[in-house]
Structure 1
Amino acid sequence: MSVRLIVRTFSELCITVGALIILFVVYVLFWTGVKAAGATEGQIDGLQDRWAHGAVSAPAPTVSPSPTANAPTSTVPAPPAPAAYPDGKAFAMLYIPRLGKGWEWPILENTKVRTLQKGLGHYRGTASLGATGNFAVAGHRRTYGDPFKDFPKLRPGDAVIVTDGTTWFTYRIDREPYRTVPSDTGVIDPVPRKSGFDGPGRYLTLTTCDPEWGSSHRLIAWAHLDATQPVTDGRPAAFHS
């Protein structure tokens, strides 16, 4: 085999590999976002249609928020059994004003790969929305719409607003995002470990991957329920705070 043939073959191989890499990058950066946009819009439209006809999935009980994030055990009732949200279906909308005026994502039941391609996922077995315990939600940092791309921007006091179509639940972030490893499942316990909460309460946990384009670690944000109000009263003031 001549040197010229070897060089030509190697060059063609490099071009082929380069083309495949470019296609993969386009898929990751562009096509997954396109797919996510369509899937997410479909979930939101479905939710709004159901709510317009008065259908709410496994409504959480109406509750008054804990006086503080660290309410004493003796003054807070034991967590009820988690609500049986329909598997793989959207049941709520989540908004984080800190992450942008138009930032809104549907929450679906379970955290399977296909589910997280359509929106955020509620960890099965964690508390229902607004209930005593820990309402835990996962989302992609990058790809499929990049819902939690700006997760590190979250700060104490930031509002995380969730609605099930009948009630607005306003949670408040308690500390800057905490970095841990995927095996640290205690972060979604009813009283999440390392959160600083010292007793039962009405909590929310958000989780995503870290670093931005990897998955070796997780970023965690914890919040406590600050206020509730019926959707008939309009949007909460927290949207503007």
Structure 2
Amino acid sequence: MRLVVRTVSELCITVGTVIVLFVAYVLFWTGVKADTVMDDEIDRLQRQWAEGEIRPTRTAAAPGAPAAPAEPAAYENGRAFAIMYIPRLGFTWNKPVLEGTRTDTLKKGLGHYAGTAQLGQRGNFSVAGHRRTYGDPFKDFPRLRPGDAVVLTDGTTWFTYRIDKGPYKTVPTDIEVIDPLPRMSGYTRPGRYLTLTTCEPEWGHSHRLIVWAHLDSTQPVEAGKPAALRR
């Protein structure tokens, strides 16, 4: 009996140690790796832009009006094409946006829902991100409020969106949130919109949190950072 008790005790200690190590891996190491990968994606994009790559031609627009790519090229699945900034989440917060929402893609940054509008185009440019693990990109998502700026650049233009509604809680099957004209967004006519989605609760995935925004302004990168990114 003494041997059985000792064996069971040692087994429990071993299992407990494995669980602690696994939790440490999920909470810490995946975040370290993800931060490095996201930084590498941003560095790669900025090098390409500096070398004149990935610079779509844009049609002329009236002063202050949103500029749109002329016949924009399709995004390449799993590849970064833009950088997102959300000042509400910190002036050092920036994440790469990649095409697609597969698990391996979201480990590298935020993911653009394939089939939704392209950046700055008419329709609903929709993006997903992890709430927790893999860098916790949207950990503070509930802090977002109407009026907050969400700024993106594709290397040639700055796009400033303004949040109109959210965070709105729904279920994963509610795919209408990324429709060109989302039913619960409050929008009544087609426009240039942005949808951000993440998991709810913080360590679960039974629900989703959503924010909707409209394209407020654009400006060429040569003009410097937009007002929303200036301290």
TM-score range, shorter chain: over 0.9
Residues 3-22 of structure 1 aligned to structure 2 (within 5 Å): 3-22=1-20
Asked if the contact 2:98/2:109 (under 8 Å) is kept, the reply is yes
Q: For 1:61 and 1:26, how far apart are their aligned partners in 2? A: 50
Asked if the contact 1:56/1:165 (under 8 Å) is kept, the reply is yes
Q: 2:171 aligns with which of 181, 197, 200?
A: 181
Q: For 2:116 and 2:72, how far apart are their aligned partners in 1? A: 6
Q: 2:42 aligns with which of 44, 60, 81?
A: 44
Residues 214-229 of structure 1 aligned to structure 2 (within 5 Å): 214-229=204-219
Q: 2:131 aligns with which of 129, 141, 144?
A: 141
Gaps of 5+ in 1: 67-79
Structure 1 residue identity aligned to 2:30: T
121-130 or 3-12: which moved more? 3-12
Q: For 2:54 and 2:94, how far apart are their aligned partners in 1? A: 19
Q: Per-residue CA shift, 1:156-187, capped at 9, x if unaligned?
A: 00000000000000000002300111111000
Q: Per-residue CA shift, 1:185-216, capped at 9, x if unaligned?
A: 00000011211111100000000000000011
RMSD: 1.9
- Distance change >3 Å, CA 60–CA 96, structure 1 → 2: farther
Q: For 1:183 and 1:207, how far apart are their aligned partners in 2? A: 13
Q: For 2:55 and 2:88, how far apart are their aligned partners in 1? A: 27
Q: For 1:59 and 1:138, how far apart are their aligned partners in 2? A: 27
Structure 2 residue identity aligned to 1:201: G
Equivalent residue, structure 1, for 2:75: 85
Gaps of 5+ in 2: none
- Distance change >3 Å, CA 13–CA 19, structure 1 → 2: same
Q: 2:108 aligns with which of 92, 115, 118?
A: 118
Equivalent residue, structure 1, for 2:51: 53
Q: For 1:232 and 1:44, how far apart are their aligned partners in 2? A: 19
13-22 or 147-156: which moved more? 13-22
Give the total of aligned pairs: 226
Q: For 1:172 and 1:108, how far apart are their aligned partners in 2? A: 21
31-40 or 56-65: which moved more? 56-65
Asked if the contact 2:125/2:195 (under 8 Å) is kept, the reply is yes
Asked if the contact 1:82/1:125 (under 8 Å) is kept, the reply is no
Q: TM-score, normalised by structure 2?
A: 0.93
Q: TM-score, normalised by structure 1?
A: 0.89
Aligned sequence identity (%): 67
Q: Per-residue CA shift, 1:5-46, capped at 9, x if unaligned?
A: 121111111111101111111111111111101211110111
